[in-house]
């Protein structure tokens, strides 16, 4: 896996353009108080989003392979970071809101656990510095 990150330039403050090995591009920027112009997410926000995306992918795949009728998955993440440099994540909580038809709670619990302990490279890696916790709720398809 490869990625190239380029500083956009002096006139752009602290904006950076990342080009991934799969051919996608995204802008990252710093907070205004750090010289950024708030043109994109912060790099640490992308780490958190990546962990959420990686884990959501796992949970949906595991539920599908378990023949669960999953129709939606939303992961909300909350985190805490160290106050001193390096300001690593120290706590990350994943809340999964899984929608489907007659989903078995034990199947969802198993999918969340397998993602956390076996499949999600991003959250397992972040777990080296952060306490990772997770919970879930199940919404029957058609409920608000």
Q: ∠ at Cα 32 (28, 37), nearest 5°? A: 50
Partners of residue 29 on adjacent β-strands: none
d(CA 59, CA 109): 9
The span from the CA of 78 to the CA of 28, in Å, is 20
Task: State the chain's maximal CA–CA distance in angstroms.
Answer: 55
Per-residue confidence in pLDDT tens, the chain, 144 aa: 999 999 998 787 899 999 999 999 999 999 999 999 999 999 999 999 999 999 999 999 999 999 999 999 999 999 999 999 999 999 999 999 999 999 999 999 999 999 999 999 999 999 999 999 999 999 998 765
Please give the model's pTM, rounded to 2 decimal places: 0.92
Identify the structural domains of the chain with CATH numbers, from first to last.
3-34 (no CATH), 43-140 (3.30.300.20)
């Amino acid at each position: 896996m490869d990625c190239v990150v380029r500083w956009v330039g002096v006139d752009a403050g602290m904006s950076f353009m990342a080009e991934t090995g799969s051919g996608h591009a995204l802008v990252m920027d710093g907070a205004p108080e750090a010289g950024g112009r708030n043109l994109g997410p912060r790099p640490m926000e992308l780490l958190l989003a990546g962990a959420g995306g990686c884990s959501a992918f796992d949970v949906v795949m595991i539920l599908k392979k378990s023949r669960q009728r999953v129709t939606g998955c939303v992961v909300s993440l909350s985190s805490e970071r160290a106050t001193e440099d390096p300001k690593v994540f120290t706590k990350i909580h994943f809340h999964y809101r899984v929608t489907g038809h007659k989903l078995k709670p034990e199947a969802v619990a198993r999918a969340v656990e397998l993602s956390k302990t076996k499949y999600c490279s991003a959250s397992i890696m972040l777990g080296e510095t952060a306490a990772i916790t997770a919970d879930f709720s199940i919404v029957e398809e058609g409920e608000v």
